[in-house]
Amino acid sequence: MLRSLVAAALSYRVLVLALALTVAGLGAWAFGNLPVDAYPNIAQTQVKMILKAPGMTPEEVESRVITPIEMEMLGIPNQAILRSTAKYAIADITIDFTDGADIYWARQQVAERLSGVMADLPASVSGGLAPISTPLSDVYMFTIEGPLSLQQKRELLDWTIRPALRTVPGVADVNALGGFVRTFEVRPDLVALAGTGLSTADISAAIESGNRNDGAGRLTSGEESLIVRAVGAIRTVEDLQSLVIASRDGRIVQLGDVATIGIGSLTRYGAVSKNGKAEAVEGLVIALRGADARQVVDGVRARLVEVEKTLPADTHVNVFYDRSDLIERAIGTVEEALLEATILVVVLLILFLGDWRAAAIVAATLPMAALITFLFMRGMGLSANLMSLGGLAIAIGMLVDGAVVVVENIVERLGRAHDDDHPRLNHVFQATNEVVVPVSAGIVIIALVFLPLLALQGLEGKLFAPVALTIVFALAGSLLLALTLVPVLSSFGLKSGHHGDPWIMRRISPRYRALLDAAFARKRLVYGLATAGLVIAGIAYGAVGKTFMPTMDEGSVIVQLTKLPSISLDQSVKGDMAAQRALLTVPEVGDVIARVGADEIGLDPMGPNETDSFVRLKPQSEWRGDKDFVVGEMRKAMEGMPGIQPSFTQPIEMRVSEMLTGARGDLAVKIFGPDLATLADLAGQVQRTLSSISGASEVLTVANDSVDYLQLDIDRAAAGRFGMPVDRMQDALRAQVEGIHAGIVAEGQKRVPIMICGDESLRSDPTRFADLQLRTPEGILARVSDMARVERTQGPVKLDHENGSRFALVQAFVSGRDLVGYVDEARAAVAAKVKLPAGYRIVWGGQFENQQRASARLMLVIPVALLLIFFVLLATLRSLRASIVILLNIPFAMVGGIVSLWASGEYLSVPASVGFIALLGIAVLNGLVLVAYFRQLRTEGRSMTESVRLGAERRLRPVLMTASITAFGLVPLLFASGPGSEIQRPLAIVVIGGLITSTLLTLVLLPILFERFGESARETENA
Least separation in angstroms between residue 932's CB and another protein is 25
Q: 8 or 856, CB closer to another protein?
A: 8
Q: 387 or 428, CB closer to another protein?
A: 428
The rounded distance, in Å, linking the Cα atoms of 334 and 600 is: 37
**Binding segment (CB under 8 A) for another protein, from list 11-19, 301-309, 523-531, 633-641:** 11-19
Least separation in angstroms between residue 481's CB and another protein is 18
Q: Is the dihedral of CA 961, 384, 664, 616 positive or negative?
A: positive
How many residues interact with another protein (rule CB under 8 A)?
Answer: 15
Q: 429 or 968, CB closer to another protein?
A: 429
Least separation in angstroms between residue 419's CB and another protein is 13
Least separation in angstroms between residue 474's CB and another protein is 28
Residue 168: CB partners within 8 Å, gap ≥ 6? 296, 299, 300, 303
| Residue 272: C-alpha distances to residues 285, 535, 580, 612, 807 (Å) | 16, 57, 12, 10, 30
CA proximity to 797, closest of 705, 711, 675: 705
Least separation in angstroms between residue 11's CB and another protein is 4
Under rule CB under 8 A, residue 538 binds another protein? no
Strands 212-221 and 270-274: unpaired
Q: How many CB atoms lie within 10 A of CB 304?
A: 22
CB half-sphere exposure, 252, CA atoms < 13 A = 9
Least separation in angstroms between residue 359's CB and another protein is 25
Under rule CB under 8 A, residue 423 binds another protein? yes
Residue of 80, 164, 205, 425 that binds another protein (CB under 8 A): 425
Q: 5 or 584, CB closer to another protein?
A: 5
Least separation in angstroms between residue 413's CB and another protein is 13
Q: 496 or 704, CB closer to another protein?
A: 496
Q: 94 or 432, CB closer to another protein?
A: 432
Q: 9 or 95, CB closer to another protein?
A: 9
User: What 3-state class would DSSP assign to 226?
Assistant: strand
Q: Which of residues 64-103 bind another protein (CB under 8 A)?
A: none
Q: 4 or 621, CB closer to another protein?
A: 4
CB half-sphere exposure, 332, CA atoms < 13 A = 9
Least separation in angstroms between residue 415's CB and another protein is 18
Least separation in angstroms between residue 346's CB and another protein is 29
Residue 992: CB partners within 8 Å, gap ≥ 6? 900, 967, 970, 971, 974
C-beta separation of 140 from 304 below 8 A:
no
Going by the DSSP 8-state scheme, the letter that residue 552 receives in this structure is P
Question: What track of x and - describes contact with another protein for positions 427 through 446 (by CB under 8 A)?
Answer: -xxx----------------
Least separation in angstroms between residue 423's CB and another protein is 4
Under rule CB under 8 A, residue 151 binds another protein? no
- One-letter identity of residue 120: D
**Binding segment (CB under 8 A) for another protein, from list 4-12, 194-202, 203-211, 435-443:** 4-12
Q: How many CB atoms lie within 10 A of CB 899?
A: 21
Q: Which of residues 636-655 bind another protein (CB under 8 A)?
A: none
**Binding segment (CB under 8 A) for another protein, from list 80-88, 101-109, 198-206, 423-431:** 423-431
Residue of 248, 309, 422, 498 that binds another protein (CB under 8 A): 422
C-beta separation of 442 from 927 below 8 A:
no
Least separation in angstroms between residue 24's CB and another protein is 23
Under rule CB under 8 A, residue 10 binds another protein? yes
Residue-by-residue DSSP string for 917-937:
HHHHHHHHHHHHHHHHHHHHH
Least separation in angstroms between residue 364's CB and another protein is 21
The rounded distance, in Å, linking the Cα atoms of 805 and 184 is: 42
Least separation in angstroms between residue 432's CB and another protein is 10
φ/ψ of residue 652, rounded to 5: -75, -40
Under rule CB under 8 A, residue 884 binds another protein? no
The rounded distance, in Å, linking the Cα atoms of 957 and 963 is: 10
379: enclosing H helix or E strand: helix 356-380
Residues paired with 97 in a beta bridge: 79
**Binding segment (CB under 8 A) for another protein, from list 8-16, 257-265, 284-292, 509-517:** 8-16
Q: 426 or 815, CB closer to another protein?
A: 426
Q: 417 or 703, CB closer to another protein?
A: 417
Under rule CB under 8 A, residue 426 binds another protein? yes
- One-letter identity of residue 666: D
Residue of 249, 306, 419, 421 that binds another protein (CB under 8 A): 421
C-beta separation of 813 from 666 below 8 A:
yes
Strands 750-756 and 182-188: parallel
User: What 3-state class would DSSP assign to 186?
Assistant: strand
Q: 414 or 447, CB closer to another protein?
A: 414
**Binding segment (CB under 8 A) for another protein, from list 210-218, 222-230, 345-353, 421-429:** 421-429
CA angle 267, 163, 125 (to 5 degrees): 35
CA proximity to 462, closest of 388, 560, 352: 388
Least separation in angstroms between residue 430's CB and another protein is 7
CA proximity to 455, closest of 917, 102, 133: 917
968: enclosing H helix or E strand: helix 956-975
Q: 7 or 24, CB closer to another protein?
A: 7
Q: 488 or 594, CB closer to another protein?
A: 488
Residue of 2, 5, 12, 891 that binds another protein (CB under 8 A): 12
Least separation in angstroms between residue 14's CB and another protein is 10
Q: 1 or 231, CB closer to another protein?
A: 1
Q: Which of residues 13-42 bind another protein (CB under 8 A)?
A: 13
Residue of 2, 5, 7, 246 that binds another protein (CB under 8 A): 7
Question: What track of x and - describes contact with another protein for positions 289 through 328 (by CB under 8 A)?
Answer: ----------------------------------------
Q: Assign 3-class secondary structure to 53-75.
A: CCCCCHHHHHHHHHHHHHHHHCC
Least separation in angstroms between residue 425's CB and another protein is 5
User: What 3-state class would DSSP assign to 747?
Assistant: strand
The rounded distance, in Å, linking the Cα atoms of 1012 and 985 is: 38
Residue of 1, 2, 5, 11 that binds another protein (CB under 8 A): 11
The rounded distance, in Å, linking the Cα atoms of 167 and 170 is: 9
Under rule CB under 8 A, residue 940 binds another protein? no
| Residue 894: C-alpha distances to residues 35, 468, 994, 995 (Å) | 36, 20, 6, 9
Q: 10 or 680, CB closer to another protein?
A: 10
**Binding segment (CB under 8 A) for another protein, from list 9-17, 366-374, 604-612, 629-637:** 9-17
Least separation in angstroms between residue 363's CB and another protein is 25
CB half-sphere exposure, 87, CA atoms < 13 A = 22
Least separation in angstroms between residue 480's CB and another protein is 18
The rounded distance, in Å, linking the Cα atoms of 650 and 633 is: 16
User: Which residues of the chain form contacts with another protein (CB under 8 A)?
Assistant: 7-8, 10-13, 421-426, 428-430
